[in-house]
């Protein structure tokens, strides 16, 4: 009899399991996945951690590329473009963190496209020669584009409970916290 109930529930796509999903995302998924949600506090911590790691990464990559490319007598433009290309993983991590935070607030499609354009402009900024007028223009544009993203990601509360992007990253009930009643 109990087996029949389980079969029926499985056939119907038991809706109870969808509402009681618990947020469980590994550290690597938090940095690289485009699925799921993260709350404001985790967003802030991941950004700080990414900034620290990016600084070390940029120094190491910059020194290695400077020795290799400038030592070969290549023009500065080749060095700038290569540095920009080497920063793609960091820009992607930043993009993934922003996407998950936007999904926590229930924002999708248009905001995700806006974030993609922002990320591409960041990459272009990293590839432009230092001190050029192009660098100044892209810097201004990315600053203006980053303002609404920063405001939404830092100051807007996430959706309570599960939304279309996944379960709430902040457990709301004692059952989700692991407390047995």
- Which letter does DSSP use for residue 33 in this model? -
pLDDT of residue 175: 47
CA of residue 156 relative to chain centroid, distance: 16
In a domain, 22, yes or no: no
Can you name the residues that pair with 166 across neighbouring β-strands? 163
Cα-Cα-Cα-Cα dihedral sign, residues 56, 83, 138, 37: negative
Map residue 128 onto helix, strand or coil.
Answer: coil
In a domain, 45, yes or no: yes
- Four-point Cα dihedral 35, 38, 42, 43, nearest 10: 80
pLDDT of residue 20: 53
Assess contact for 43 and 103: CB atoms under 8 A: no
Q: How many domains does the chain have?
A: 1
What gap in Å lies between CA 95 and CA 116, rounded to an integer?
7
pLDDT of residue 179: 45
pLDDT of residue 171: 74
What gap in Å lies between CA 46 and CA 49, rounded to an integer?
5
pTM of the entire structure? 0.79
Mean pLDDT split into 10-residue runs, the chain, 181 residues = 46 45 82 92 94 92 81 80 91 96 91 96 91 90 95 92 87 53 41
Residue 67, domain extent: 37-155
In a domain, 108, yes or no: yes
Assess contact for 168 and 160: CB atoms under 8 A: yes
In a domain, 111, yes or no: yes
The CA-atom distances, in angstroms, between 159 and each of 33, 58, 60, 115, 162 are 19, 35, 40, 20, 7
What phi, psi does 163 have (nearest 5°)?
-130, -170
Can you name the residues that pair with 163 across neighbouring β-strands? 166
In a domain, 27, yes or no: no
pLDDT of residue 138: 93
Map residue 35 onto helix, strand or coil.
Answer: coil
pLDDT of residue 131: 84
In a domain, 17, yes or no: no
Is the backbone of residue 161 left (phi > 0), alpha (psi -120 to 50) or beta? left
In a domain, 170, yes or no: no
In a domain, 144, yes or no: yes
pLDDT of residue 173: 57
Vertex 121: Cα angle to 117 and 124 (nearest 5): 140
pLDDT of residue 15: 42
């Amino acid at each position: 009899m109990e087996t029949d109930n389980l079969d029926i529930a499985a056939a119907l796509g038991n809706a109870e399991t969808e509402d009681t999903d618990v947020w469980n995302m590994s550290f690597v998924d938090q940095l690289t996945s485009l699925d799921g949600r993260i709350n404001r506090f985790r967003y802030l911590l991941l950004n700080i951690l990414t900034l620290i790691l990016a600084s070390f990464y940029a120094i190491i990559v910059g020194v290695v590329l400077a020795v290799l490319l400038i030592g070969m007598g290549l023009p500065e433009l080749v060095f700038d473009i290569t540095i920009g290309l080497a920063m793609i993983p960091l820009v992607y991590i930043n993009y993934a963190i922003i996407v998950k935070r936007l999904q926590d607030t229930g924002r999708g499609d248009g905001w995700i496209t806006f974030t993609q354009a922002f990320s591409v402009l960041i990459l272009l900024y990293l590839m432009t020669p230092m001190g050029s007028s192009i660098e100044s223009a892209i810097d201004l544009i990315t600053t203006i584009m980053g303002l609404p993203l920063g405001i939404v990601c830092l100051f807007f509360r996430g959706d309570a409970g599960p939304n279309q992007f996944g379960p709430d990253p902040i457990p709301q009930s004692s059952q989700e916290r692991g407390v047995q009643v």
